[in-house]
């Protein structure tokens, strides 16, 4: 079969083609945005790039934008780190031991389907309307998914590796540390990389609770006053932060688990 330049399965493409596709996926939506806003006066529904830049400059000059970015980033970071510190060990235990799976997975799987917004009244009763409530809401949106995805990743570790370690005299602790953890580490990093986006998705819900700063708060405030360009600014900033986080996780993965990228 003749090799394909554009469609090689699981094989790298040329660097020029890769760069061209990356630039095109950014440039084409931007051009479509510019053309759409030139066809009429639709600033209320779709602000132009110029209006969005002007809103960003105004928010930045007022000091509001930097404050909102800092407040939201701290909330997301606290909730995400807490969800990782608690969720990763539980996921490893649930994936490694059937007894722990029977204890953890049913309740975790059930809560995962419950809408986070439904917990807001309970969160207010439990911890009030301060920073703890916002962190808790984001945590609830990420923690249970972390546990389930990591537990599933452990199940893909071949039992032959585990049995071979036992044959060589390894204890259960050594199997966990020297076999399962290294084998599941690439998937674990991918899980965290994917779920950090979930933390940002729950930000707007979290900042509904008596917030006076934050990107989610700024979006809701802009919606109330029909400031569509401010909404675009905040959404684009969250997207930019997401791209930086995604690249950071990929770089970290290449540093920690280089063997998982040898076929790329």
Give pLDDT tens digits for 72-110: 999 999 999 999 999 999 999 999 999 999 999 999 989
Residue 48 maps to a domain:
no
Task: Say which CATH number the domain at 186 has.
Answer: 1.10.3720.10
Mean predicted confidence (pLDDT) in 116-135: 89
Any domain includes 20: no
144 to each of 46, 85, 137, 191, 222, how far by Cα in Å? 36, 12, 12, 12, 32
Domain with 97, as residue range(s), is 62-261
pTM of the model: 0.85
Task: Evaluate whether 147 touches 84 at the Cβ level (below 8 Å).
Answer: no
For the stretch 195-251, pLDDT in tens is 999 899 898 888 887 788 899 889 988 888 888 999 999 999 999 999 999 999 999
- Cα 1 versus chain centre, distance: 39
Residue 162 domain-assigned (yes or no): yes
For residue 39, being part of any structural domain is answered with no
Please check whether residue 79 is in contact with residue 254, taking contact to mean a CB–CB distance below 8 angstroms.
Answer: no
Answer whether residue 234 is part of any domain: yes
Q: Examine residue 168 and state whether it is found in any structural domain, yes or no.
A: yes
Number of domains in the chain: 1
Instruction: Give residues with Cβ within 8 angstroms of 33, minimum separation 6.
Output: 46, 48, 49
Least confident of 44-48, 74-78, 173-177, 230-234: 44-48
Task: Tell me whether residue 12 is in a domain.
Answer: no
């Amino acid at each position: 079969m003749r090799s394909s330049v554009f469609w090689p399965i699981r094989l790298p493409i040329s660097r020029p083609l890769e760069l061209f596709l990356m630039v095109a996926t950014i440039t084409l939506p931007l051009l479509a945005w510019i053309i759409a806003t030139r066809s009429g006066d639709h600033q209320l529904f779709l602000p132009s790039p110029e209006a969005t830049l002007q809103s960003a400059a105004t928010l930045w000059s007022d000091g509001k934008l930097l404050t909102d970015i800092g407040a939201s980033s701290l909330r997301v970071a606290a909730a995400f780190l807490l969800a990782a510190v608690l969720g990763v060990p539980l996921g490893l235990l649930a994936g490694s031991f059937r007894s722990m799976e029977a204890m953890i997975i049913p309740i975790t799987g059930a809560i995962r389907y419950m809408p986070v917004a439904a917990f807001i009244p309970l969160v207010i009763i439990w911890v009030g309307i301060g920073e703890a409530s916002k962190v808790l809401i984001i945590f609830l949106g990420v923690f249970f998914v972390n546990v389930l995805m990591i537990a599933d990743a452990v199940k893909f570790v071949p039992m032959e590796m585990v049995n071979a370690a036992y044959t060589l005299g390894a204890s259960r602790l050594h199997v966990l540390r020297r076999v399962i953890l290294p084998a599941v580490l690439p998937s674990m990093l991918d899980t965290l990389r994917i779920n950090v986006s979930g933390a940002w998705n729950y930000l707007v819900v979290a900042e509904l609770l008596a917030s006076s700063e934050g990107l989610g708060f700024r979006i809701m405030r802009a919606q109330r006053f029909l400031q569509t360009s401010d909404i675009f600014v905040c959404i684009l900033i969250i997207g930019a932060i997401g791209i930086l986080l995604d690249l950071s996780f990929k770089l970290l993965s290449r540093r920690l688990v280089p063997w998982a990228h040898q076929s790329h």
